[in-house]
Amino acid sequence: MLSQDLELKQALAKRGITRRQLVKFCSGVLATLALPERYLAQTVAAVGKARKPVLVWLQFQDCTGCSESMLRSSHPDVADVVLDLLSWEYHEVIMAGAGGHATAILDRVVKEEKGKYLVVVEGAIPTGDDGVYCTIGGHSAMEIAETVCRNAAATIAVGACAFDGGLVRSNPNPTGALGVHEAVPGIKVINMSGCPHNAANTAAVLVHYLTFNDLPALDQYNRPLFAYGRIIHDQCERRAHYDAGRFVTEWGDEGHRKGWCLYKMGCKGPVGTFNCPIVQWNDHTSWPVRAGHGCIACAAPRFWDHMSPFYERVPNVPGFGVEVTAGEIGVGLVGATIAGVTAHGLIKMIKPVPKPEPAAETTPQQGREN
């Protein structure tokens, strides 16, 4: 049976999760959402009383990295509690059912929970050639997304691919892949961009939905502001090195060993927005810049195309090949100008054009006729 009338509190108790653990989890979520502490009681009550909403997790053109990220989520309790917060009915990677049994569950959710369930989409949706590049159970990704997302209360697009097509859509995009909000326009969608999404943020969005029955405040790309409202650079632990002019100039040099700023190595922290430096990854252990690698702005729109080359400060100038930097072209331009100006001046000095005699003061045309 689909609907479980158990209240969440009971479900959690059954799993051996105490009220203390629930309060702890809710405090963590409140901190991630940047909500004041006075919402704690409300959140705990809402989460405890909630009738488990149904959630389905769709996968299209993806690498399952976002599912992996969700399953190995960093907060000790997130995986457990989120799995228990919601009635997770359909998820190709982790569900036991297969074939017709699995698709029957999806059909039943769409029919019985119409307008009430949540959908998480992972992966891009191919639209080229009628969507033949991704089909599940005889239906194209396009058809499945159209049916499942249209009938849902809200859609959560996790990862770069579901956000805007990600790697699949990057140039030359042979399958015509699109993100969810472009492939299925007009639906209520929240984008959790990033490659992969950060499970802590997605859990926070789910809890926000359970508590307030609404999605958190969004930015211009429909991403929650609490996670995508600030640039990496402003939150970075290496920012002091940037301000002081201490930069890594070569991989493995002294500055790199001392943990200096990766700006010169092409770090995209100054343009990428995400809460990576605060929430971090793998049990709050580390994040790319702490590990000594520059940010690639994986949460930015179309980052594969727009943020590459990942190890250069600025992109290459089109038409000059990959070995020539914009700086070299600029120096060349100025050098050529100096050379040209010098040559022009020299010619002017050496070879003065003969001036017409003041007597023959006629227009050039008349002069030729004469």
Partner 1 sequence: MTPVNHLPAIQTGDGHHPTVPMGRAVSVYVWQYPLRLVHWGIVICIAVLSVTGYYIHDPYIVGQVNPFLMGEFRFVHEVFAMIFIALFVLRMYLFFAGNRWVRWRSYVPYRKQQFREMVEMAKFYLFVKPEPVSKIGHNALAAMSYVGLYAMVFVEIVTGLVMYNVLRHSAILGFFVGWVPRLISPPNIRLIHFCLMWIFIAFGILHVHLAMLVSREEKKGLMDSIFIGYKVIPEEDLKKDDELYSKLP
β-sheet bridge partners, residue 57: 91, 120
26, 207 contact by CB (below 8 A): yes
Nearer to partner 1, 226 or 247 (CB): 247
Taking the complex as a whole, the smallest distance from the CB of residue 189 to partner 1 amounts, in Å, to 17
Shortest distance in whole angstroms from residue 330 CB to partner 1: 3
- When the beta carbons of 20 and 368 are compared against partner 1, the nearer one is 368
Quick one: 154 or 326, whose CB is closer to partner 1? Answer: 326
Quick one: how far is CA 324 from the chain centroid?
29
**Burial tier of 187 (Cβ tally within 10 Å: 0-12, 13-18, 19+):** middle
Structure tokens of 32? 């991630």
Q: How far is the CB of 319 from partner 1 (least distance, A)?
A: 12
Tell the smallest beta-carbon distance from residue 362 to partner 1 (Å).
Answer: 12
Of 84, 83, 77, the C-alpha closest to 6 is: 84
Cα distances from 34 to residues 23, 204, 273, 274, in angstroms, run 16, 10, 16, 14
Q: Give the number of other CB atoms < 10 A from CB of residue 209.
A: 21
How far apart, in Å, are the Cα atoms of 82 and each of 55, 57, 206, 223, 283? 11, 13, 8, 20, 16
Return the number of the residue (281 or 304) whose C-beta is nearest partner 1: 304
Closest approach of partner 1 to the CB of residue 204, in Å:
21
Q: Which is nearer to partner 1, 321 or 354 (CB)?
A: 354
Nearer to partner 1, 94 or 244 (CB): 244
| Residues at the site binding partner 1, with contacts judged by CB under 8 A | 220, 231, 233-234, 242-247, 249, 255, 260, 263-264, 268, 270-271, 300-302, 305-307, 313-315, 317, 326-327, 329-331, 333-334, 336-338, 340-341, 344-345, 347-348, 351-356, 358, 361
The least CB distance from residue 275 to partner 1, in Å, is: 15
CB of 338 to partner 1, least distance (A): 6
Question: Which residues are paired to 224 by β-bridges?
Answer: 218
Distance CA 243, CA 276 (A): 20
CB burial readout 327-357, b (16+ within 10 A) else e: eeeeeeeeeeeeeeeeeeeeeeeeeeeeeee
Of 77, 97, 81, the C-alpha closest to 89 is 97
Give the nearest distance from C-beta 197 to partner 1 in angstroms.
Answer: 21
Closer to partner 1 at the Cβ: 137 or 340?
340
68 vs 253, which CB is nearer to partner 1? 253
